[in-house]
Amino acid sequence: MEFTMKKPPIISNQQRSYKRSLSLHISLIIVSLTAIFTRAFIAVPEGESWVPDQMFKTFLMLFTGALVSVLIELVYSISEGTSQEFSEYRRLVDPINTGLLIALLLPTSTPMYVLILAVAVGVYVGKIVFGGYGYYIFNPALVGVLFATISFATQIEYGDTPLVLLKQAIEGQSYNFELIDLVLGNYVAVAIGSTSVIVLGGVFIYLSITRVIDLRLSGTFVLAILIISAIVGFVNFGGAMWNYVFVNMITGLTMFGAVFLVAETVSSPTSREAKLIYAVVIAIMTMMVRILGTEVEGVVFAVLLGNMLAPFLNRTVTRSNKKLFIQTSVILAVVVLLTGFVLGFILQGRLIEAFDAMIQWGGMIA
């Protein structure tokens, strides 16, 4: 006889996992519908009321991504003799989520064959090969997106997204970003999921309240991005830094990543200290790619790097007492602040100058 030493109600891990997947499933559908509406009625050329072809392309990509993901898992289940599981909708939730995520992480300019290949690689290589849900090392959706981004870079066009224009602004060109357009999603998007921050923010709050996403992961990631972008913006633009902060926070994949990628439970660490380190590493890498790299967006690369570090963090970083937890938090805060200043001075070509000043200041203190 087995005894469960817990307070009622007692819910199995499988039930909790399904409820979490279902909440993410509903959230992904809401974001998908918002993306379709945004591409049809908000992000439209001047003089037009709506763009039916963009709406249809967005819907087709989302539908195709979900369908291909389900078909691949169904074929694999048939070969394993477990296809009867697909008679229940709950078995379709995770495959649909993976397919939708991959479609949402690609721009509408993506050819359909590239999307299909991305889903195939993500679902089979990123998930099934490792044993399915709960056993993979890297987020399957990001594996598929990275494959598409690297292998078909010339076929995927991003256009002048706010992050691209931001890089050009730092190089001396002048741009005036309209806050209302950024909030509504009325801009050239780096991905379908980079839609209205109002909806993404609402989903973020809902999933945080229901504890589907861990604020120690998502919250720390968002806060670190905010601090680094504020410092880089201040160093380069002074009092006009807020455009830089807003573009980094409410466009690109910052909020989408915080909701659906950073806090993904299977590929993220388990202890609270490891979660903080994990989130800070992803935030720093995201900003480094955006500022110093040639890629438009850094979230995909950053989260995959975090996935790679997660097993190491789980082995070496254990839950500590309150004092050590505070020390870890302070150290990470200092690292984030230093990263912001270093990236800001690199953009101005003043890193050596700042380094010499730090050495002189250290000599004066000594």
Is residue 217 within 8 A of residue 188, CB to CB? The reply is no
The single-letter code of the amino acid at 274 is A
- Cα–Cα distance between 66 and 62 in angstroms, integer? 6
pLDDT at 296 over 90: no
In angstroms, the Cα distances linking 234 to 21, 33, 240 are 40, 36, 7
| pLDDT, average across residues 280-284 | 96
| pLDDT, average across residues 239-255 | 89
pLDDT at 14 over 50: yes
Task: Give the pLDDT of residue 366.
Answer: 43
Task: Give the pLDDT of residue 16.
Answer: 65
**Averaged pLDDT score across all residues of the chain:** 86
Tokens of 229: 């972008």
Domain-by-domain residue ranges, the chain? 15-157, 160-356
- Cα–Cα distance between 184 and 181 in angstroms, integer? 5
What secondary structure letter does DSSP report for 6?
Answer: S
| pLDDT, average across residues 93-115 | 94
